[in-house]
Structure 1
Amino acid sequence: MCLAGVGTRNGGAVSGIVVHSPEGDDGGPVTLRLGPGERVLFGRGSPASPVDLRLADEAVSRLAGEIRATDDHWQLSNLSTTHGYLVENPEGAGEYLRVPPRRIGAPIPFEFSRVVLPSRRESPVFFQVFAPDHVYLDPHAFGGSWESRTLTAYSLDETATYFLVLIALCEPWLRDRSPVAVPTTPQVVERLRGHTACTRLTARAVSSHIDYLADEKLRINVPAPVGADRAQRRNGKREAVVALALKFGIAREEHLALLPPRIGPAATDGGV
């Protein structure tokens, strides 16, 4: 195993990536975290060629490729001699990269990527990679030397799906209501269903976006209460994300315009 934990964050910059596969050896999802300089080997695997991320498809090479994290991006090596891999940007309008066979260390610029491998099955073999935080300057800081400029504490892409998930979670408070609970994952899926970028959004994908917000973007440490089950831990993470986003003005009333129009009774309750 090539993992040694999540990378450190120095000077406000976020290091490390998250690799997520919806289907692991036991049929459940697999999430791996890499710090700068760490790597993950992926493929079908064998006793002679062990891998960190196993993709159980006969069209996938035993040792198909490698993901390596750096300080500010990640690299993909295609170890196959015959198959090219696609790296899609789910947040873009059909934007993708093709990594040809035997290509080593291809830099991937997307903040959120879907790596697709050729398969003999009807559904493709894929996994997702959440990249190191893209760092932005404070929009009000102009001029001066690079060293004197101020970086934003929380670098979020307001065009990304994870930001839509954040606004959907915060919507009740942004509309000046007094909810008794943070919206559930199924409620977020339903709320975003009318958005053109979210027509295929699933509960599992929403959970991954919430994990990404909490662990990588907002850097929240949410300790699990003793004896808490999975649902309770998930509720605690959603509540912590909403509390921080509202406290620091990351989610604001103006962001409600990003959400699709509400329909039904809720549309008359001060909605748009």
Structure 2
Amino acid sequence: MYSVIVVPPRGTGSDDQIRLSAGERLAFGRSETGNGLAIAHEGVSRIAGEITAHRAFWILSNLSQGQTYVVENPEGAGEHIKVAPGRLDAPVSFEFSRVVLPAAGELLSFDVWAPRHTYRSATRPGLSGATTAQAFSLDRTKRYFAVLAALCEPRLRGAPHAPPPTVDQLVERLRHTWPAANRSSVYWNIDYLAVKLRLRPAPETAEPGPRLYGKKESLVSLALRFDLVREDDLVVLAAVPSEVAR
């Protein structure tokens, strides 16, 4: 059974997906090859790289002499890896990937899917005792989670480099589900999130710690890095959250 699917870039004249079984290789580049992926662009190396399929992931070799390739996770709100020129066998674990090739002032891309990802059940029979404490305890019915979702929304909507919304933009975004939202209440929830997600000490601690600059950016970065907010969670922006801020 195939383990990796390569989707050729648009405009190459081929809409056929290329299926690779574990251990199979696929070369790509400007040169026409009978069993490879041809990308007809003068800015792409004749032999640009090679993909090798494994069971639940794939590896990328960058065979160019001077171009760094980027592999993006389209569902990861900016998550990506860089593969330097000449790097061989760089593992890629994303289930959905976009390989981006710089080409004479343009950015060309093609997709690679690894649909054989499997996940272990959360149920672990035979184990007893106290359960492991959650790293980040968030209640999706509270107002602070709606604020966090609104902060992350631009990047989750497909703009991975977008700056966090301003407080005024947050107020406007939240107002139809939270009519009483204002700058003060949104600021309060941002401060609360910074404490709850351990970006700053709690007020009752003896050491207040240094002033936290870029608080919104830090919250967005942490939330997206650990999947505390996913695209599915944006539904809270269309639902009426709890009346209790915390």
What TM-score do the two structures reach when normalised by structure 2?
0.50
CA distance in 1, matches of 2:47, 2:35: 7
Percent sequence identity over aligned pairs: 44
Count matched residues: 144
Q: Mapping of 1:152-191 within 5 angstroms?
A: none
The alignment status of 1:39 with 2:25, answered yes or no, reads yes
Query: For the Cα contact (< 8 Å) 1:66–1:76, is it kept in 2?
Result: yes
Q: Match of 1:118, SS?
A: strand
Q: Match of 2:156, SS?
A: coil
* 1:51 Cα deviation after fit: 5.4
Query: For the Cα contact (< 8 Å) 2:5–2:20, is it kept in 1?
Result: yes
Match of 2:84 in 1: 100
After superposition, the C-alpha distances for 1:161-214 in whole angstroms (9 at most, x for unaligned) are xxxxxxxxxxxxxxxxxxxxxxxxxxxxxxxxx9963458xxxxxxxxxxxxxx
Q: Which runs of 5+ in 2 are unaligned?
A: 128-152, 160-231, 240-246
CA distance in 2, matches of 1:100, 1:129: 19
CA distance in 1, matches of 2:73, 2:66: 23
The alignment status of 1:129 with 2:129, answered yes or no, reads no
CA distance in 1, matches of 2:154, 2:68: 32
The alignment status of 1:110 with 2:110, answered yes or no, reads no
* 1:72 Cα deviation after fit: 2.4
CA distance in 2, matches of 1:52, 1:259: 40
Q: Which one-letter code corresponds to 2:156 in the other structure?
A: A
The alignment status of 1:17 with 2:1, answered yes or no, reads no
Give the RMSD, CA atoms, in angstroms: 3.0
Query: For the Cα contact (< 8 Å) 2:100–2:110, is it kept in 1?
Result: yes
* 1:140 Cα deviation after fit: 2.0
Q: Match of 2:75, SS?
A: coil
CA distance in 2, matches of 1:129, 1:94: 17
Highest relative contact order (Cα 8 Å, sep 6+), 1 or 2? 2
Q: Mapping of 1:116-265 within 5 angstroms?
A: 116-122=100-106, 124-143=107-126, 197-198=156-157, 258=233, 260=235
* 1:24 Cα deviation after fit: 5.1
The list of structure 1 runs, each at least 4 consecutive aligned residues, that deviate by more than 6 angstroms after superposition, is none
Query: For the Cα contact (< 8 Å) 1:39–1:69, is it kept in 2?
Result: yes
After superposition, the C-alpha distances for 1:89-146 in whole angstroms (9 at most, x for unaligned) are 1111311111111111111121111100011254x111111114222111223447xx
Q: Mapping of 1:74-89 within 5 angstroms?
A: 74-89=58-73
CA distance in 2, matches of 1:114, 1:127: 6
For residue 60 of structure 1, the aligned residue among 12, 29, 44 is 44
CA distance in 1, matches of 2:156, 2:77: 9
Structure 1 residues 71 and 198: alpha-carbon distance in aligned structure 2, compared to 1, 3 A threshold? same
* 1:33 Cα deviation after fit: 0.6
What TM-score do the two structures reach when normalised by structure 1?
0.46
CA distance in 2, matches of 1:199, 1:88: 12
Q: Match of 2:103, SS?
A: coil
Q: Which runs of 5+ in 1 are unaligned?
A: 1-5, 8-15, 145-193, 201-256, 268-272
User: Greater Rg, structure 1 or structure 2?
Assistant: 2
After superposition, the C-alpha distances for 1:28-57 in whole angstroms (9 at most, x for unaligned) are 5341111101111101114xx655111111
